[in-house]
Amino acid sequence: MRSELSKRLEAEISKMPVIDPHTHLQHKSPSAQFIGNIFGYHYIKMELSTVGMDVERLMDESLPPDTFLKNALPFIPRIRNTTTWWGFMTICNALGFEDATINEGNWEKLCEVAAETMESEKWYRKALDSINIKRSFLTNPPDEAMEGCDMEAFVPSLRTDEWVLNIHEDATREKLEKLTDSSVTSLKDMKVAIHQVAQRFISLGAASMAISLPPGFQVFLVDEADAVAIYDKILQKKRLSDDEFARLRIYMLYSLFEICDELNLPFQMMLGVDRGIHLRLGWDGFSTDLGMMKTFRDALNRFPNVKMVFSILNTILTHELAIYAKTFANCYAAGHWWYTFYPCIIKPMILERLQAVPYPKLIGWYSDSYYVEWTIAKIKLYIRTLANALAEIVEDGYMDEDMALEVARALLWDNNAEIFTLD
């Protein structure tokens, strides 16, 4: 049974200010506008698909978003057990819809109520204010236009995947050439151009670099001359061996570490996605390589001044990540990502981190959301789980209630402010 202490902690923590250090919000349209867009989140789409809905046809992007909901009505009863569904209903309620279920009789009312709320003036700010989120990080591709961005609400973060994983593609080079108005004819030019883009983002207020790396990605020092020669082969349109490709990608990652070092930028790394494992629907999965954390040992030792903030997409290495955050002053553990964002997985991770790792080394939560509406559901689920975990720690006598609240404040605000040097 949930203790009174846990409920009290939940209530207190819900009043605390929050920084959301990783989202996919679009600064030009941070709200979903239609309940159908909220409902069309891939978390829910996957659940509908797995219980038999033909989501390709019935939730086709070309349909008006609210028809997704209508088409899904026969399948909704089959997904009501998941916490993703709980999240969706939590959003519906936050938008002013008061029914406990959705069916033939009320789905249109939901669409109307939701649209009306989301149409209201500065809704996204109201939505974020309702959950005390003061700053949300964006995920910015190198060429994103930042004009008109609400810099009070948003913090840019430079996404760098293409410079590592797609280093071999002409488009990567051409985009950089365009952005820097330069000609990239060598690996050195490439690095200079990236440095320039990073500087531009810092001048726009960017607080971090970010990248997502697949499970088996190897990280080790690659000789510069070696990398230069490999990149020259690309420029000469020659084919790379798998090994050359791997070494060039690793070299690029190290180049990003160097730039982070020079520019004093923290680096957010998300480890573990396998892209497109569901071939027809293109859905991503994950898998685990037991060397995933271990492979960063050299980089953590070599770049002591680069803050490396790791998220990991499995339950297998969460203990190892916690111990890395304890061992290396420049290693941080962040949040609960995607397929690990379930209360029963989050709670043991919180306990493990709070018992083993000094709390300034931890980022409690990020939403990873595409619309501010999902942020509402995700912070509520997290705070409830955090309260349960802290209550257990307090009840077992390892912390008092004041300390628990101090830790919560740090997980949601202070540590982000310190790590990313905000305000």
Q: What residues between 375 and 394 interact with a copy of itself by CB under 8 A? A: 384, 388, 391
The reply on whether position 354 binds a copy of itself by CB under 8 A is yes
The reply on whether position 280 binds a copy of itself by CB under 8 A is yes
Nearer to a copy of itself, 22 or 361 (CB): 361
Nearer to a copy of itself, 235 or 351 (CB): 351
Nearer to a copy of itself, 211 or 391 (CB): 391
CB count, 10 Å around CB of 17?
A: 13
* Contact map string, positions 150 to 179, toward a copy of itself, x by CB under 8 A: ------------------------------
Residue from 192, 228, 235, 356 in contact with a copy of itself (CB under 8 A): 356
Q: Find the shortest distance in angstroms from Cβ 132 to a copy of itself.
A: 20
Residue from 11, 73, 82, 108 in contact with a copy of itself (CB under 8 A): 82
Residue from 115, 345, 417, 422 in contact with a copy of itself (CB under 8 A): 345
Beta-ladder partners of 363: 334
Both tokens of residue 347? 């709670």
Q: Find the shortest distance in angstroms from Cβ 178 to a copy of itself.
A: 37
Q: Distance between CA 409 and CA 423 in Å, rounded?
A: 16
Q: Find the shortest distance in angstroms from Cβ 232 to a copy of itself.
A: 33
Q: Distance between CA 145 and CA 66 in Å, rounded?
A: 29
The reply on whether position 282 binds a copy of itself by CB under 8 A is no
Residue from 29, 120, 327, 421 in contact with a copy of itself (CB under 8 A): 327
Nearer to a copy of itself, 163 or 324 (CB): 324
Q: Find the shortest distance in angstroms from Cβ 357 to a copy of itself.
A: 7
Q: Find the shortest distance in angstroms from Cβ 404 to a copy of itself.
A: 9
The reply on whether position 74 binds a copy of itself by CB under 8 A is no
The reply on whether position 221 binds a copy of itself by CB under 8 A is no
Residue from 342, 401, 417, 422 in contact with a copy of itself (CB under 8 A): 342
Which part of the chain contacts a copy of itself (CB under 8 A), choosing from 20-28, 174-182, 217-225, 289-297? 289-297
Site for a copy of itself in 258-277 (CB under 8 A): 274, 277
Burial track 81-101 (b if 16+ CB lie within 10 A, e otherwise): eebbbebbbbbbebbebeeee
Contacts with a copy of itself by CB under 8 A: the residue count is 76
From first CA to last CA, the distance across the chain in angstroms is 40
Residue from 186, 301, 305, 421 in contact with a copy of itself (CB under 8 A): 301
Residue from 12, 161, 261, 320 in contact with a copy of itself (CB under 8 A): 320
Contact 38, 32 (CB under 8 A): yes
The reply on whether position 81 binds a copy of itself by CB under 8 A is yes
- HSE of 326, CA atoms in CB hemisphere, 13 A: 13
